[in-house]
Amino acid sequence: MSWQARFADTPDVLLSEQRRGTVVPVLDLAIGGDEFVTIAGPCAVENEFQLMATAQRVRRSGARILRGGAFKPRSSPYSFQGLGREALRLLARARRETGLAIVTEVMSPEDVPLVAEYADILQIGSRSMENFSLLEAAARSGRPILLKRGLVATIADLLRSAQFVLDNGNKNVILCERGIRTFDTTLRNTFDAAGIALLKQITHLPVIADPSHACGDRHLVPMLARIGIAAGADGLIVEVHPDPDNAMSDGEQSLDFAAFDAMMAGLEPWVALRKRCLDVVESSALQAMEAVG
Ligand code: PEP
Ligand code: MN
């Protein structure tokens, strides 16, 4: 069966002669274009110093977008839930001071107007990937959507959620592979690099990799980042914290400033290689779409 037939219920997200290479504009950036874009910042916004220091440092290392959770989906109801509106204000200040664009998660449809007022990109978290009323509200805000793959979502499930955003009038969707749950619990999740390669081959949407949540271990993050780029990702989203051991969430997988700097410097040859491969990927992709496997 061809990929077109296999994903017949999500026709608008699939690559075709008419729909190729969607580029999502964010301030002066183009996600999914020639430039590789790194998003970096803390899992959660904790305080002014933590956010401002991180924003300055990740920008200096080459990040173009700042991440930071204001509303946090936590496994335990007793964990830190985020600073909410106060965090959004801090993110907006970081944007003013650094020029970095802002991405932050929105967890409920009621919060969409507030979060959309501050953020340049709305993040739909893994746990919300199939919250269709949230997807509808987020889509209708007009902000670009960073759609994270659900913990137990197949590629088809992810594409259905993306199609739903498109159906609600928003074509600026960025797909994100962030690791899935499998039988192997050695790492926090299982990084689906083949999923990135496939998404790049069969959809026209930008795809980014989240090496932080994919493994849950800061020592593996730079390696997974390279794998994501080699698989064809258009960008990365990486957790960075001034003092990971004392972070309020996801410290184990957060890089400190020096480690982030080293990772970014080490990525340069991989990013250059990716650029050289882009044309080859595009020409083989259309053929792959029509091939009957
Ligand atoms: C996050 O980005 O901090 C986050 C909660 O991600 P995910 O939804 O992928 O778990
Ligand atoms: Mn996190």
Residue 68 belongs to domain with CATH number = 3.20.20.70
Which pTM value belongs to this model?
0.97
Count of domains for the chain: 1
Give the closest ligand to the alpha carbon of residue 237: 1
Domain that holds residue 230: 3-292
pLDDT at 293: 56
Instruction: Calculate what percentage of the chain has a pLDDT beyond 90.
Output: 89
Cβ contact 288:251 at 8 Å? no
- What would the pLDDT profile of 68-100 be if each residue is shown by its tens digit? 999 998 888 889 999 999 999 999 999 999 999
pLDDT in tens, 121-163: 999 999 999 999 999 999 999 999 999 999 999 999 999 999 9
Ligand 2 center to 282 CA (angstroms): 32
Mean pLDDT of 8-16: 97
Distance CA 97, CA 74 (A): 29
- What is 34-93 written as a DSSP string? SS-EEEEE-SB---HHHHHHHHHHHHHHT--EEE-BSS---SSTTS----THHHHHHHHH
Closest CA to 206 of 129, 108, 121: 121
Whether residue 242 is predicted with pLDDT greater than 90 in this model: the reply is yes
- For atom 6 of ligand 1, the residue with the nearest CA is 125
Give the model confidence (pLDDT) of 155-166 as tens digits. Answer: 999 999 999 999
Query: What average pLDDT does the structure give for the chain?
Result: 95
The helix, strand and coil proportions of the chain, stated in percent and rounded to the nearest 5, come to 45, 15, 40
Whose alpha carbon is nearest atom 10 of ligand 1? 126
